[in-house]
A and B are shown apart, each in its own frame.
Chain A
Amino acid sequence: MTELRVPKLNNNDTEYLLVEWLAEDGAGVVKGDPVVVLETSKAAEELMAEADGVLRRTAETGATCRPGDVIAHISDGSAPPPSATDPGAATDGTAAPPAADGSAPPPAADPGPIVTAPAQALIDEHGVDPARIRALGKKVIKRADVLALLETGTGDAQPLPPVQRAVAAAVTRSHQTIPAAFTAVKLDAGPAIARARALGKEARALIGLPELLVAAVASLHGQFPMCFAEPVGADPLAVRPSTAPNVGVTVDVGHGLYVPVLRDAGRLSVKEIAERLAAYRTKAAQGAFREDDLAGGNIVVTLHTDTAVLLAVPIVFPGQTCALSLCAPQHEFALDPAGNVVKRTTVTLGLAFDHRLVNGREAAMFLNAIRKAITP
């Protein structure tokens, strides 16, 4: 076993840059073969193998090394060689060498076509079968190629993307297992919107009706425990009460519907709720949700902010009892107590509930309590 040590290359420098390995890890080298390029502050220097044998690198490309450092071993079979530490290096010496210069590594046997980001987004959106993409026989797949593929179609059914499959499963299970009822109230939203605006200014956060609604729902956990309970079993039906209001909120920025959960939302200030929701929206945009973000909810607030939505009936999520819907603000004329015509802004607040556990009277009380909490 011979050590390949970094020699002192000049008097100016105390360390050098390992620019490139010239011999593969695990390759056989002959004494005098150049094996590595080191760069000093002024020049590049090749180091030669000092013995015949098998090269085992112990330093990686881009490493800084000092005179005296061991950067490789050349094994002659007398001792087992230490394993390589260069992460890009092939340990068996058969795979492609890492691209030390940062360029793309040589293509593997069948790397498939290169897909542009816009094309990939379209492929994901429509769940296009990779085999159909491959069958195009093009080196680069662009958005136009995918569009053409979608238009021509083969009549084959397209599988749903994973997110939508999960939504489909939840909706189906909800409709099969939960006898849901629905009640909606009209809310004079003017004072609430003004309050949200004031709170937002004070807290320097983006606070609106959704944030106020989440806070209101969470604050009623103690008063309406059944709305947060989990139905258990079928016959006989039982309920498991919840320990804290874990409020799920719908987020859909175009990559599919997600319901991230604000845990123990009763302990959060409106500002904290706003911040967490903003963080969830960012995660949704980046597609960065983790299981942990989405688990553990015991009630859901669904947001329908598209300006024309008057009324929306949410599904009750399996394992939960209630789901609220907040629709877009509408403007209307109304009569004030003095009989004058005034303009006001309203929203529809809906509650879908598992009628096995909650009755209409309690649902109406819950909605009214929320209304009062939003507009004290």
Chain B
Amino acid sequence: MRVAESLNRALHEVLAEDPSVRVLGEDVLDPYGGAFKITKGLSSRFPGRVLATPISENGIVGVAGGLALAGGKAIVEIMFSDFVALAFDQIVNFASKSVSMYGRPLRLPLIVRCPSGGGRGYGPTHSQSLQKHFIGVPGLAVYEVSPFDDHRELFGEMLALGEPCLLFEDKILYTRRLFGDGVADDLFQYDLLPGSGGVTRVYVDDPGQADCVIIAPGGVAHRALAAMRTLLLEREISCLLLVPRRLYPFDVTPLSPLLERAGAVVVAEESTAGGTWGAEVAHQVHSRLWGRLRRPVSLVHSAAGVIPAAAHLERDVLVQDTAIVRAVQELLT
């Protein structure tokens, strides 16, 4: 099953099971079913609960936030995550504060879905990874779709949280197949790290026997896997990949034993450097494991520039598996 299909199926199940859930977004109605077909079939099956909106990101999220605060549950599709910046005010100044600023805790079950990332030649305004701008906001949870996850469970977790959630969905994943049965490919297997609350670990034989741990969200997972394959087959460097479902709030404690054993940690993300999720993770790792790591945590980012539309130029700017390979090698030499 492809990731797009899995997300679509998960939404179908969420709407079928909970009549209080509404879906809002631009062009989400059938037959179009959203720019990436994630909302396909929903409006036909649940008429009245899927609302097509004008191009008005701030307005859509405002309505959805109010709807969630009034006892409903809302899932918003931002057509391209770049435009979530238009709804920044509603997310940061309204939704995230509403759960705590009225004197008693209030529930605001809202998911803002953000198709993000490059690699598709969509150019500077449709390819960014803006996760970092939403890290560290009290009352706001940030998630990222991964090809290892159960997406029905993911939506359930976010709605049950009762807080506004941003869900970043790397567009590159939509056409990729969902991993299943604990098998990533002929080399790697995966499972959930016990007690981690949704961190997938990917490894060859033994998750405890890695020379280096790579922490990366779901959109970078395939690139991390390619890097791990190269490192293992060409250099005999074995890596453990950790893919967290929730980026923020993020607690590195359950990861610490694995990180300490390896002594070398690389965090890879597609955003540009500076005030990033990866930097937050690195800080937490340093705070806990200072003196027990061989080197400081190494961060891998895209280049600091706009994302070109031409494929070969875009490739140069965005994080590639080669950058991860380089970072791991530099860390270990």
Residues of A within 8 A of B (CB): 17, 19-20, 37, 39, 41-46, 100-104, 106-107, 111, 114-119, 139-140, 142-143
If A116-B236, A117-B234 touch, whether A103 touches B222 (CB-CB below 8 Å) is: yes
Other A-B pairs beyond A103-B177, A111-B186, A140-B187, 20, CB < 8 Å: A37-B175, A39-B120, A41-B122, A43-B36, A44-B4, A44-B35, A44-B174, A44-B175, A100-B175, A103-B176, A103-B222, A104-B186, A104-B187, A107-B186, A114-B186, A114-B187, A115-B233, A117-B233, A118-B234, A143-B236
In the complex, B251 has a CB within 8 A of chain A: no
Closest B residue, CB atoms, query A138: B205
Chain B 29-50 near chain A by CB (<8 Å), digits 1 or 0: 0000001110000000000000
Closest B residue, CB atoms, query A103: B185
Contacts of B35 in A (CB 8 A): 42-44
Q: Determine the distance from Cα of A106 to Cα of B183 in the docked complex, in whole angstroms.
A: 10
In the complex, B301 has a CB within 8 A of chain A: no
How many A-B contacts if CB must be within 8 Å? 62
Contacts of B139 in A (CB 8 A): none
In the complex, B136 has a CB within 8 A of chain A: no
Contacts of A17 in B (CB 8 A): 121
If A19-B175, A46-B37, A140-B187 touch, whether A116 touches B233 (CB-CB below 8 Å) is: yes
Provide 17 A-B residue pairs closer than 8 Å at the C-beta atoms, listed in order of the A residue. Answer: A20-B175, A41-B121, A42-B122, A43-B36, A44-B4, A44-B35, A44-B174, A45-B37, A101-B176, A103-B176, A103-B222, A104-B185, A111-B186, A114-B186, A115-B233, A117-B234, A139-B204
Give the residue of B4, B121, B232 whose beta carbon is less than 8 angstroms from that of A116: B232
- Min Cβ gap B179→A in Å is 10
Contacts of B177 in A (CB 8 A): 101, 103
Q: Is the CB of A139 within 8 A of B205?
A: yes
Centre residue among A44, A102, A111, A118 by max chain B CB count within 10 A: A44
Closest A residue, CB atoms, query B205: A139
- Min Cβ gap B33→A in Å is 9
- Min Cβ gap A15→B in Å is 12
- Min Cβ gap A103→B in Å is 6
Q: Determine the distance from Cα of A45 to Cα of B176 in the docked complex, in whole angstroms.
A: 15
Centre residue among B177, B186, B222 by max chain A CB count within 10 A: B186
Q: Determine the distance from Cα of A165 to Cα of B284 in the docked complex, in whole angstroms.
A: 59
Q: Is the CB of B187 within 8 A of A139?
A: yes
Centre residue among B176, B205, B233 by max chain A CB count within 10 A: B233
Q: Determine the distance from Cα of A104 to Cα of B226 in the docked complex, in whole angstroms.
A: 10
Q: Determine the distance from Cα of A46 to Cα of B37 in the docked complex, in whole angstroms.
A: 8
Contacts of A41 in B (CB 8 A): 121-122
Q: Determine the distance from Cα of A12 to Cα of B174 in the docked complex, in whole angstroms.
A: 22
Chain B 101-124 near chain A by CB (<8 Å), digits 1 or 0: 000000000000000000011100
Centre residue among B4, B185, B205 by max chain A CB count within 10 A: B185
- Min Cβ gap B276→A in Å is 26
In the complex, B126 has a CB within 8 A of chain A: yes
- Min Cβ gap A44→B in Å is 5
Question: Which of B185-202 touch A at CB < 8 Å?
Answer: 185-187
Contacts of A20 in B (CB 8 A): 2, 175
Question: What is the interface size of chain B, counting residues whose CB is below 8 A from a CB of the partner?
Answer: 25
Contacts of B4 in A (CB 8 A): 44
Contacts of B174 in A (CB 8 A): 44
Q: Determine the distance from Cα of A43 to Cα of B121 in the docked complex, in whole angstroms.
A: 11
Closest A residue, CB atoms, query B204: A140
Contacts of B36 in A (CB 8 A): 43-44
Contacts of B225 in A (CB 8 A): 103
Q: Is the CB of A116 within 8 A of B234?
A: yes
Q: Determine the distance from Cα of A139 to Cα of B206 in the docked complex, in whole angstroms.
A: 12
- Min Cβ gap B117→A in Å is 14
Contacts of A103 in B (CB 8 A): 176-177, 185, 222, 225
Question: Which of B118-162 touch A at CB < 8 Å?
Answer: 120-122, 126
Contacts of A106 in B (CB 8 A): 186
Contacts of B205 in A (CB 8 A): 139-140
Q: Determine the distance from Cα of A74 to Cα of B175 in the docked complex, in whole angstroms.
A: 23
Q: Is the CB of B232 within 8 A of A140?
A: yes
Give the residue of A46, A104, A142 whose beta carbon is less than 8 angstroms from that of B236: A142
Contacts of A114 in B (CB 8 A): 186-187, 233
Question: Which of B1-47 touch A at CB < 8 Å?
Answer: 2, 4, 35-37
Closest B residue, CB atoms, query A39: B120
- Min Cβ gap A10→B in Å is 11
The 5 closest A-B pairs by CB, nearest first: A43-B35, A107-B186, A104-B185, A101-B176, A117-B234
Contacts of B121 in A (CB 8 A): 17, 41
Q: Determine the distance from Cα of A20 to Cα of B121 in the docked complex, in whole angstroms.
A: 16
Q: Determine the distance from Cα of A20 to Cα of B225 in the docked complex, in whole angstroms.
A: 21
- Min Cβ gap B185→A in Å is 5
Contacts of A140 in B (CB 8 A): 187, 204-205, 232
Q: Determine the distance from Cα of A106 to Cα of B175 in the docked complex, in whole angstroms.
A: 17
Q: Determine the distance from Cα of A81 to Cα of B204 in the docked complex, in whole angstroms.
A: 44
Q: Determine the distance from Cα of A293 to Cα of B205 in the docked complex, in whole angstroms.
A: 44
- Min Cβ gap A50→B in Å is 15
